[in-house]
Structure 1
Amino acid sequence: MSQELETLTDFYRDRSHISFPLSNTDLQSGKSHFNVNTRKYCNFKSPYNRRDFYKITLILGTGELNYGGNSIIIDKPAMLLPCPSVPYAWTSLSDNQDGYYCLFNQEFFNEHYQFDIFKRSPLFKAWSEPVIFLDDKQLSLATVYFGQMMEMAHSDYPFKYEAIRNLLCLLMHSLLVDQPDGNYTSELPASHRLLRMFDELLHQQFPLDSPAHPLTMKTPADFAGALNVHVNHLNSVIKTTTGSTTTAIIKGRVLEEARTLLQNTQWDISQVGYCLGFEEPAHFNHFFKKAMGITPLQFRQSKAKAIL
């Protein structure tokens, strides 16, 4: 089994014969991307990979999901919301496959405060169940929301991305409203409980609202202390469960917040870096450029030009 990373570029390359309502030619790093389509071409076996994008799928048809090495048979209407960092594969078990799917990158997820609540929810988490089986009411709502996203994507409406974002939020709210938080935590293995507590601690620190209140937990040792476990145990659980290191997950969330602050605040770049735990501006510049390929100033300037 391969655990390579499937990128958006890979996704569209392997589906070059399929027409999408929204452009997929400009996938430059740092730019927001969203698309939506039907599942009428999904009667195949997908590779067992992690992804660098989010995907929500309304599955109508029978198939087998191999998710993180576990098999899940889907034989009734269901919504699939996998954690991008967990490798998974889909195998169709019936010729009749229908439904919809949408996909979007981290930048699209970061664009608006509306999505902040979902970052703190069980959706897309490595410790939560990736499949939600739908009752008639949920299926009806999901079909309407996806249908409206498709209609909006094909339209010339100048604010269609804002409308699509609202529809996506309604779709995710419809899944959460009938899934109390406890439904996700009952009978979780100890490793998943620890991963969940780490995830909650990490996300509770954000969003940052003032340069005067910097991050208090910045390292694996900080989180291990707060969770009353040895740092080696925390690192082992996270690596085994997600395939990523504790440090990589922390840095990923810090980078996400850095981009948000650079784009949406007037804070000095040194203030942004300090607030995120970088004592020296040079250290923040190095961290950001290594991850994004450009400096924090260049990123802020590019986003300002995009607005103009």
Structure 2
Amino acid sequence: MSDRKTTPAEKKVFNNLLEQYIYQGLPTDSIVAKTDFTIHNLRDIHHELPYTSIVYRTNFFSFVFVKDAFGRYTTDEQVFSTCPGTIYFTNPGHFKSFEWREIKDVYLVTLSESFLKENVHPKIFEEFPFLLAETVPPRVLKPEVFAEFEQLYLHIEKEYNAASPYRTRMIGNLFVVLLLKIKEYFWEDYNPIYEGNRSSQIVKTFKRTLEQHYRDLANGKAEKVFRVQDYADAQHLHPNYLSNVIKSKTGKPVGTWITEKTTAEAKSLLQNSAASIKEIASQLGFTEATHFSNYFKKQTGISPVLFRRQHGKATS
């Protein structure tokens, strides 16, 4: 059994599978140096069972095809069992861990987001929106259905181990078929935007973070305006997923919320504060007053100086 135990306080972040295996003391012979894509059977990795991993986060996607094994895995605070016929995937950003009690045949595929976009589909998240879901429960398939997936991932493994100059393209095209199969069997009608009450909580948290961030800017506790990525990171979500949830629930994308909030705060400060335009620009995270002036004029049609003059403040 591994001498590493799952501890909630220990939450490592791994950028690729090679990093993860090295840290966990697992064999890396089947992981090539270029780690944007990997595929291998976990029975070749976990020689000592049972095995319990640490709690960690990854910056890559994982697909697991459990033909014959028993264990469980966690995604954030949710726990799922794995048994023969199970297929599941996890995406970047979540805290997770896994436990294997028995492994006879389990294939793991990992891909980076860049690999998905460059070799699978340039608009990967539009074609396969379920990839951005917060947590998709595993599915347990009948043997004849699982066999269809097995044929595909074994073909991918064959090309992965081949020396063909078209290796990456073939892997990408085969993975398109694999994703289409997943979409066909499990998620044809699945919409990650409507995952129960969780999406409403995402909106509430986003709005609270937005308000708090602008208070921090005003109080000098923050130096620059958050981007979409920053708001996504605050909830451990993919930025595309956060944007989709916010737009679906509120009718406005995250970028519009940020722009409107910045503009509203600027108007309030210009109208109610005696601070100079340079000071206001700094408060709102702009490094130069000219950048702030251009931004404000683009959003309102008039310059900060003119807006302030129209609203009775002469300070410039």
- How far residue 23 of structure 1 moved from its aligned partner, in angstroms, is 2.5
Give the drift of 1:4.
2.7
Q: Counterpart of 1:19 in structure 2: which amino acid?
A: D
Unaligned runs of 5+ in 1: 28-32, 199-223, 237-241, 255-279, 284-308
Q: 1:19 aligned to 2:29?
A: yes
Q: Structure 1 residue 128: deviation in Å?
A: 3.8
Decide whether aligned partners of structure 1 residues 90 and 51 sit closer, same or farther in structure 2, where only a CA change above 3 A counts: same
Q: 1:120 to 1:5 in 2, by over 3 A?
A: farther
Change (3 A) 1:253 1:61: same
Residue 86 in structure 1 maps to residue 94 in structure 2: yes
Percent of pairs identical after alignment?
Answer: 12
Cα offset for 1:69?
1.3
Residue correspondences, number: 213
Deviations 1:130-178 (CA, angstroms, capped at 9, x unpaired): 4222233431121111111111122121101100111111111111102
Cα distance in 2 for partners of 1:39, 1:249 equals 27
Q: What is the CA-CA distance between 1:127 and the residue it aligns to?
A: 2.9
| TM-score relative to the length of structure 2 | 0.56
Aligned partner of 1:245 in structure 2 is 234
Letter paired with 1:49: Y
* Aligned-pair Cα RMSD in Å: 3.8
Determine the C-alpha separation between the residues in 1 that align with 2:146 and 2:239. 36
Deviation at 1:97, TM superposition (A): 3.4
Conservation of the 8 A alpha-carbon contact between 2:85 and 2:141: yes
Matched, 1:72 2:80: yes
2:178 to 171, 189, 193: 171
Q: Does 1:125 align with 2:114?
A: no
Structure 2 match to 1:108: 115
Q: 2:210 & 2:104 partners in 1: Cα distance?
A: 41
Corresponding residue for 1:290?
none
Instruction: Assess, with a 3 A threshold, how the Cα gap between structure 1 residues 170 and 191 changes in structure 2: closer, same or farther.
Output: same
- Compute the TM-score of the two structures, normalised by the length of structure 1: 0.57
Q: Which residue of 1 aligns with 2:54?
A: 47
Largest Rg, 1 or 2: 2
Q: 1:193 to 1:171 in 2, by over 3 A?
A: farther
More strand by share: 2
Q: Compared with structure 1, are the counterparts of its residues 138 and 69 closer, same or farther at alpha carbon in structure 2 (3 Å cutoff)?
A: same
Aligned equivalent of 2:159: 152
